[in-house]
Chain A
Amino acid sequence: MEEFNTTELNKLREEISESRKKRKTCITICGGTGCHAYGCLKVAQAFRDEIEKQGLQDLVDVRTTGCHGFCERGPIVVIQPKGIFYQRIKLEDIKEVIAETIIGKKIVDRLLYIEPKTKEKIVYEKDVPFYKKQRRIIFGNNGFIDPTSIKDYIALDGYKALTKILFDMTSEEVIEEIIASGLRGRGGAGFLAGKKWEICRDVNSEKKYVICNADEGDPGAYMDRSLLEGNPHSVIEGMIIGAYAIGASEGYIYVRMEYPLAVQNVTHAIEQARKLGLLGKSILGSEFQFDIHVFRGAGAFVSGEETSLMASIEGRRAFPRQRPPFPAQEGLWGKPTNINNVETWANVPLIINKGAEWYSMIGTRGSKGTKIFSLVGKINNTGLVEVPMGMTLKEIINDIGGGVKDNKKFKAVQTGGPSGGCMPAEMLDLPIDYETLTKAGSMMGSGGMIVMDEDTCMVDVARYFLDFTQEESCGKCVPCRIGTRQLVEILTHITQGKGEEGDIEKLKDLAKTLNAGSLCQLGQTAPNPVLTTIRYFEDEYEAHIKDKSCPALVCKDLIIYHIEPEKCVGCLLCLKNCPVEAISGERKKVHIIDQDLCIKCGACLEVCPPKVMAVSKYTGKKKERILNKSSQKSE
């Protein structure tokens, strides 16, 4: 490729939009992970085949795009420019969509989304309540972009910000702009991004690095994955801008190994950018030189911590180390290094394009811009949501998420991953920003937001998280290695009905030690899930310890399954599905569970027809009563 400069980039952008004008209609098929699992690739291929068969390829574009966010309803197909929204598309539907909507300009009613509350059918994507309250400045373009096409990104003003900074801004001005925007890190701690850049810029060194942290270890969060898979160029452009401001010549994107598609798409995007001269020597004809490598992680949660991550890139075990020195002083191979999260980087081009003033109008005083959350768990509309900072938890869960699944009662929402905490219903009016969440005992984290209902046991959740951190503790420092294990032990005992008076105090004491004595935040924040569940749900702990009962009916050792004789119709379903043959009975006769054989797998409850609902779970006194009754009978 000959030298590619700004004029040519602008020309290319115009050419692309000119050629797009001819093909007005575009069928976009969501190619995010969720839709992948639902078979979207086959759907996309079928659309292409059918368009070709009908000779429509000059009029209609078919594009597989990044994640639209509404994973609950996949595979999702949106027909542009109008934004007609079809959901749960199957291969059989494709002919009809083309005949009716593409050719006939009519809507296929049965493929529309029905709003569960009002039962209203919704035609356009923008009117779907899930999207209505969102502000999708970062994530919104995903739905328009084929992640494998740099042209799609360029057509949507991609690499415009890069042109602007290379030729119209000094590195100081770029940093000033980012500081003024108030952008804070989206990877957890929320440090001011511009300030971090400034520190690194001010260190004198020939060689500097920038790193994009795409390790996304927080279980239950997948927005970084969707950004990197769906709009990789926005992250790359952000990194180039950062590198220019800091004076770095090399960059790394550290991607978790569980995300093969992200590795593939971002690697491809980097190659495309290189070909166009947007990476490499003399970028866009300027003096600036910068290139990016992709590094595949190898499965260790702690490698998301910045000092561990750098050790991992260096080919070593991902052990964290004491800070200072901070990466900005001594980072990768001892050189000054600036590390930011995927979403942080993706914000950068937007801020440069639209200006810090515009950006800082969004959000709250201390937390600017938007945040993408992965809204998952026991919620009706699961998916990725992008909202302005300062929105309340209630708005996110009820208005966007459509409330708790199956009309169950809300119990808690968990944010911040294994370092975060669970917040109860009383806290739902809290506005989302870094400080409020920390005050509530949780934290912003990277953006997992897991909704829990009345069927979730909070002691079990605490045990789950500690099990996780104990498993992932790298073992380098003693408080974390031993402390997490002791916490798990106590919590496991409690869930098994072996809890003792004083356990809660023991948990609190251990938590203090871990927080004060651990080397990195993994250990320091590990007790948060325990502390918040004790703070807001102490009665559940008490029930487990004193009454040996699990009010949410989760902890296996504390519950029994029981078939209600007055409800059972004797249909044999549970009997046939019981994997250990613990159920006896005959057709039209009441079935009985043998409690000694039952392994509490829940299969009977799952298969019992909804109209009958004869299988129940019991705990505590009621459980004892039933057990007594049945033992009397058998005597």
Chain B
Amino acid sequence: MEKLIDEFEGDQRELIHILHEIQKKFGYIPAQAVSRISKQLKISESEIFGVLTFYKAFSLKPRGEHLITVCMGTACHVRGAPMILDEFKRKLGIESGETTEDNQFTLETVNCVGACALGPIAKADGEYHGQLKTREVDKIIKELMNKKRNSSK
């Protein structure tokens, strides 16, 4: 991580860029990263925390193994997205923005993934699932669980 941060030179204008890179690599922004960036870019830690909590892209807590993002855009809303989200919440036993206790799943919402023609839509580990029905929610979760098992074999 230190290497990643030290590669950047310059000032505040690089901040969001660095945060993107760290988020991508670690899945969250560790506290040590903030102090390192603060030294490297010569901006205060509180300023960095301000920026990083402002944007939805960054999280201070690690996300789970699998990320499920349900679109709550208008097009998806009128086609029943709230029912889909409720089902995910119920099946996983968490609210949106939370991670399951076993660290397997994180559930998030997004304002629009830009595939509105396929609504309601959810992204599971980056893969789109369009025209979703409530009863398909269970299948998606199971698929993700199996994926884990297969890949760890």
Contacts and interface: CB of A to CB of B under 8 A. Distances in A.
A220 B117 contact: no
B51 A450 contact: no
Contacts of B86: 599, 601
A295 B57 CA distance: 14
A257 B113 CA distance: 10
Interface residues of A, number: 58
B116 A316 contact: no
Contact of B75 (A38, A220, A300, A599): A220
Contact of B13 (A298, A313, A474): A313
Interface in B1-55: 11-17, 19-20, 50-51, 54-55
Interface residues of B, number: 47
B144 interface: no
Interface in B83-123: 83, 86-87, 90-91, 110-119, 121
B50 to A, nearest CB: 6
B74 interface: yes
B142 interface: no
B130 A225 contact: no
B116 A315 contact: no
A602 B134 contact: yes
Contact of A221 (B76, B116, B119): B116
Interface string A234-259: 00000000000000000000000111
Contact of A315 (B14, B112, B115): B14
Interface string A339-383: 000000000000000000000000000000000001011100011
B57 A257 contact: yes
A607 B138 CA distance: 15
A139 B13 CA distance: 34
Given A34-B118, A257-B57, A450 B75 contact: yes
Nearest to A216: B114
Given A220-B116, A376-B75, A464-B74, A298 B111 contact: no
A86 interface: no
Q: Which of B11, B14, B118, B119 gathers the greatest number of chain A CB atoms within 10 Å?
A: B118
Contacts of B130: 34, 37-38
Interface in A372-396: 374, 376-378, 382-383
Contact of B55 (A72, A258, A300, A448): A300
B78 A452 contact: yes
Nearest to B127: A37
Contacts of A37: 115, 118, 121, 128-130
Interface string A283-313: 0000000000001111111000000000011
Interface string A32-76: 011011100000000000000000000000000000000110000
Contact of B135 (A218, A316, A603): A603
A378 to B, nearest CB: 6
B114 A298 contact: no
Query: SS class of chain B's interface: helix, strand, loop or mixed?
Result: helix
A316 B47 CA distance: 8
A217 interface: yes
Given A225-B114, A298-B58, A299-B55, A317 B13 contact: no
A606 B135 contact: yes
A317 B117 contact: no
Contacts of B134: 601-603, 606
B72 interface: yes
Contact of A71 (B73, B87, B118, B135): B118
B79 A378 contact: yes
B56 interface: yes
B20 A222 contact: no
A36 B112 CA distance: 16
A234 to B, nearest CB: 18
A220 to B, nearest CB: 4
Q: Which of B20, B116, B135 gathers the greatest number of chain A CB atoms within 10 Å?
A: B116
Interface in A191-206: none
A585 interface: no
Contact of A258 (B72, B114, B135): B114
A177 to B, nearest CB: 32
B78 A461 contact: yes
B133 interface: yes
B117 A299 contact: no
Interface in A422-465: 448, 450, 452, 456, 461, 464-465
A9 interface: no
Q: Which of B75, B111, B117, B135 gathers the greatest number of chain A CB atoms within 10 Å?
A: B117
A314 interface: yes
A606 B133 contact: yes
A187 B87 CA distance: 35
B137 to A, nearest CB: 9
A300 B54 contact: yes
A563 interface: no
A34 B91 CA distance: 27
A382 B115 CA distance: 10
A599 B89 CA distance: 13
Nearest to A36: B128
A448 B57 contact: no
B52 to A, nearest CB: 9
Nearest to B109: A471
A300 B116 contact: no
Nearest to B53: A317
A301 B111 contact: yes
Contact of A219 (B50, B55, B111): B111
B117 A34 contact: yes
Contacts of A296: 16-17, 20
A484 interface: no
A318 B55 CA distance: 8
A517 interface: no
B67 to A, nearest CB: 13
Contacts of B50: 317
Given A315-B12, A315-B15, A222 B135 contact: no
B86 to A, nearest CB: 6
A258 B113 CA distance: 6
14 contacts: A219-B75, A220-B75, A220-B112, A258-B113, A258-B114, A301-B111, A315-B11, A374-B75, A414-B74, A450-B74, A450-B78, A452-B78, A579-B87, A599-B86
Given A315-B51, A377-B74, A601-B86, 14 more contacts: A36-B115, A219-B73, A219-B112, A299-B57, A300-B54, A316-B12, A317-B50, A317-B51, A376-B75, A474-B54, A579-B91, A599-B86, A602-B80, A603-B135
Give the top 5 A-B pairs by smallest Cβ distance, nearest first.
A299-B56, A219-B73, A71-B117, A298-B55, A220-B74
